[in-house]
A = this chain, B = another copy of it.
Amino acid sequence: MASENRSVVTQLRKMISEGAYHQGERIGEVRVAEDLGVSRTPVRLAFRTLEQEGLLERTGKRGFVVREFSERDVQVAVEVRGVLEGLAARRLAEAGLTDPVREQLERYLAEGDRLFSKGYLEDADITDWSRLNGDFHRTIIEATGTRVIADAIRRNDHLPFASAESIIIDKRCLDGEYRKLFMAHQQHWLVFQALREGEGARAEMLMREHAYIGLRYGSLFGLTD
């Protein structure tokens, strides 16, 4: 009924990452169309998008199958993000921080300081931190002045981080989570210092290391959409 194509993509992505269609399963247009209550057309469009994202792949035969991701794939996806964000950080450090960007980052860091000042995090704080974290990374990536890196990161995020995300949901409230997030925050400070001082190689290295926190913490960006 009322379903714009974008929402079909989103729904389908969600259903796949939630396991409604399990990995390796062949997936047909008609069935999905019926499941979502739309005609085949938006599903066909969505399949193309999801194929490019890497969530679906064409079979040698006909139609698509849900792509299978291994633990190693997730590990590699985290490293991919690391090298890409590292590249962004290095370029930004070498180009130099403009005043608006520097001030923006400083605001985020100050907010983070405030969040962690209590020595513990409530649920609302974790939400705040999640947003703050995403803003910090986004700001750096966008400040590089090209969308090429941001696109590369975005295109790589979908499924592997969806599964990483589901891990963190369970572990969020466990002991030690505070320490982990606080460490991420401290790393942000280090990255910022390197950016401010124009230390490109160091900024890159710090950012690459920082990515590994995502392995347990979940998406550094948060899943968009």
Q: Which residues on the B side are within 8 Å of A87 (C-beta)? A: 76, 79-80, 83
A24 within 8 A of B: no
A35 within 8 A of B: no
Interface residues on A, range: 20 to 34
The interface-forming segment of A41-49, A115-123, A170-178, A181-189 is A41-49
A77 within 8 A of B: yes
Quick one: copies of this chain in the complex?
2
Q: Are A76 and B48 in contact (CB under 8 A)?
A: no
Helix, strand, loop or mixed for chain A's interface? helix
Q: Are B152 and A156 in contact (CB under 8 A)?
A: yes
Q: Are A76 and B45 in contact (CB under 8 A)?
A: no
Q: Which residues on the B side are within 8 Å of A83 (C-beta)? A: 83-84, 86-87
A145 within 8 A of B: yes
Q: Which residues on the B side are within 8 Å of A151 (C-beta)? A: 54, 156
Q: State the 9 A-B residue pairs at the shortest beta-carbon distance, nearest first.
A: A52-B52, A83-B83, A48-B48, A76-B148, A76-B146, A48-B49, A83-B87, A155-B155, A73-B148
